[in-house]
Structure 1
Amino acid sequence: MNTSPLAGEPRPIELWRRLAWPWAAFWLLMLAVGMQESLWSGELQFWRTLVNTVTSALGATVLVALQTRRINRRNHLLNQPLKWFLRAWAWMPLQLVIYVASIYGLRLGIYALAGSRYRHGPWGEVFAYDATAFVEFYVLFGGIIFGVQSYGAWAAERVRSAQQANLARQAQLAQLTQQLQPHFLFNALNTISSLIHSNPDSADRLLTRLATLLRAATDASQRPEQSLADELTLLHAYADIMTQRFADRVRITWDVDAAAPGCPVPTLGLQPLLENCFRHVVERRSALTHIAIRARHDTGTLQIEIEDDGETQRLPDTRGVGLGNLEGRLQSLYGTQANLALQLRPGGGLIVRVTLPCAH
């Protein structure tokens, strides 16, 4: 789970806005209870009850503020409630001592300024009573926060899933209208047709590759992610068709780390990157173009590079439909953990680098 706040996850200030009225109502209720106890004792002293309640409310509010400042840092443990609560309660003993000392220090000071004496029972009994109330409050508030954060994470996941499905559908349309556009299909079929009689085995292999690409494009909305191994199968299918068409003008090398194929990647996310190499480099020059495809897995990160040695000397001012769509899918799937970067290759050409999280 992404540790940064997502749409739908309450940030600390938003959480305070949601809980402000219930929080105020709770302490008004505590004030009313204190007044009732004072009446039952036959000694109604409004200002003493008010001071006691206000100091407790102030101490509790400071405690809650400290707890909520770092609330989103525990979001990755929401699916492990025991660890979440242990992390949330780690500082409870120290906070208990500070809380009790603070509120009684405030009460003693306020009573002294009012020229009165703060009456209380033996300190051991006082501490035991307030410690019990503190722990009960701490546990109750922790449960409320856990519930609010869990609901926020669930809502955020629903929003993200909807975004992923929408972007996958857009990707499917982009693949059918751009990556697998009519002129590509015509050229691919024309290449296959030219091989039917002279090299039927190659024609059959390329026809199978084309069917693989078409099936993947229509299934993209149902499977927005797949393993790099499956994605490379599609990329090889596209590369086989294109290298057959430009047999004397392109050479592709593959350098994939042994630990990389199991990492998840967006379905049909790499094909538009390779297609750009053919559209903007191979088709526009007669010299041999070398395309290098690399994938490396290191310390929880997958890095994929597609490099060409074309004549590009400056980075493009804008991203095309394919790159823009891929950036949107990366953001939806992985948030700030993924990015797409363009880099000029020394001597000419372009390097497209995709960085993704991979925990395996």
Structure 2
Amino acid sequence: MVGMRDVAKKAGVSLSTVSLVVNGTGYVSEDMRTRVTEAMQSLNYIPNELARNLYRDRTNMIGVIVPTIRHPFFATFTSVLQREFSARGLRTMLCSTADSDKGEAEYVDMLQRHMMDGLVMASHTAHPVDYWTSIGRPVVAFDRYLGPGIPSVGSDHEQGGHMIADLLIRTGAKHVVMIGGPRSQFHDLAAGGTDTVGAGVKDTTFPTVRYYLTLERELTAAGIRYDYVEAGSVGDFEGYAVAAHNVLDWFGPDGTADSTAAVDAIVSSDIGAAYAVQAALRCGLHIPDDLQIIAYDGTYLAGTAGVRMTAVRQDFDTIASTVASRMIDLIEGERGESARGGEGRADQSAVSRPEPQISDLIPLSLHIADTTRPVPER
């Protein structure tokens, strides 16, 4: 087997020079670098990736934790994020908490034992804030709050709520029903904390609730009735199908004595919106004249419901790029601190100042299609 000593002999340089070229560390003249490279090619020398990573104290592996990859949102997110990390020379190790019996604790342990360089947390967690702030290794949160000092990236869901409210108000909606996850996720922290989410929320790690709460607040101000129907956990697709059926059963023209109180708009994730389209068509309702439907996420599923759905779209490319940039910053910062002997390292658990729920807010966009009525001119 060809080793670095063989390369050094072939190139007529020292073993340390070959090591510097292979590991990309230290200064090597262009002439020396060329001689070493040509010797490696001539001998078909393949550097030992594991040895290189040990030398650099790097694995080039990033753990990504999501609730489930069955959901079109997380399938799209992980696909784009993996591509973004790959472009930066990093590989991803995926953990789907709902699809595996191994939860985030195993990945946190791997991170602490330097078996990966960083961790992207994109799943709901039952661990308290001090669990995450005490890890002391690179962690980036996506669409959730893990604690002070931990960077978080997510869409501007309050903006999403504003856009939906504006559209429904302008198109004359009278009764809006939102289909979403368990309402308990709106309040999954001990009450009485700081307003980390905005929209008047003080006790949640889950910033996506901002679009629901912003929408509810603006519908109330406009005098428009709304209801919220729970559809189960994020991976419970059948729950969304049942919820869509129940909405039309409970609030449809035949389900209420007052026809003016019948639901005329449904807002849900792409999955819930697609099931709402199917349920409405089975009931003989005309979309969008009888029932407007707005999807939230704008994944590939929004275009496969049989009609082109009006959707609030999340910018997956910008989200993934921002998550990757935040992660690289943390990893490089950790390496710099290590080179300085750990001086100046910030203890995340010691950070006490309140900070925004999302460090990086990514704008959303509204794409109007066939499931909402024409918008009157202002």
Q: Kindly indicate which of the two structures has a greater share of residues assigned to helix.
A: 1
Using CA pairs below 8 Å that are at least 6 residues apart, which structure has the higher relative contact order?
A: 2
State whether TM-score is above 0.5: no
Structure exhibiting the larger radius of gyration computed from Cα positions? 1
TM-score band (shorter)?
under 0.3
TM-score where L is the length of structure 2:
0.25
TM-score where L is the length of structure 1:
0.26
